[in-house]
Amino acid sequence: PECFARLQKLVDMSKTELEKNAFLNEIVKQKFEQFSNLLDRLYNIAKAELENKELTDEDYDFIMDIGDALKNIESFPGADYTTETDESAALIVDVHTDPNTKQVLEVGNDVPAVFFIIINVNGRKQIFTGGIYDYYEFLQPMDKRLTDEEWQKLSLKPDKPEWIEYFSR
């Protein structure tokens, strides 16, 4: 619940600051409000789960439809500002540059893989499915930083960090 509460606070503070400086139009303002409401609902669901309270059918419906809700929040009608690269879930970013060794630490993910999990729902075990990203981190020469496009086209990804094996088997 703490994660959702902090995210909601960040969203609300961002909306307030953008409004204060006249950077928000009505559509974007509405998106902030939708996201804040979504985070509030997730906070309440997570809190109920930690307190071993039974979730309602509406809670389960909300969880099942969260992908559509997020897609609605992040999309803007009448405008297409994205490229094919933007549509891919595989992204790469430089998180540290070492000028002494002339290397950068790159962190990347790949398209989500399907995973299955068994969850106790009202005393019955049920199987659910979702997506999980592969995670990569590696050193790269500073003059050969990867772009998202290059990362997405890379057929052989580097090895994943050892610590990831603990929970990604």
**C-alpha torsion angle, residues 85, 90, 95, 97 (rounded to 10):** -60
Q: Which two tokens stand for residue 31?
A: 């998106």
Q: Give the helix/strand (H/E) hosting 133.
A: none
Strand partners, 10: none
Share above pLDDT 70 across residues of the chain, in percent, rounded to a whole number: 91
Q: Write down the number of H helices and E strands in the chain.
A: 7, 5
Q: How far is CA 27 from CA 23, 33, 56, 103, in A?
A: 11, 10, 31, 42
Q: How far is CA 157 from CA 90, 128, 167, 168, in A?
A: 11, 28, 19, 16
pLDDT digits (tens, 9 = 90+) for 85-134: 667 788 999 999 999 999 999 999 988 888 888 888 888 888 888 888 88
Three-class SS of 67-127 = HHHHHHHHCCCCCCCCCHHHHCCCCEEEEEEECCCCEEEEEEECCCEEEEEEEEECCEEEE
**For residue 164, which amino acid is it?**
I
pLDDT digits (tens, 9 = 90+) for 12-28: 999 998 888 887 788 88
Mean pLDDT of the chain: 88
Q: Give the helix/strand (H/E) hosting 164.
A: none
For residue 168, what pLDDT is reported? Answer: 66
What pTM, to 2 d.p., does this model score?
Answer: 0.53
User: How confident is residue 3, by pLDDT bands cut at 50, 70 and 90?
Assistant: very high
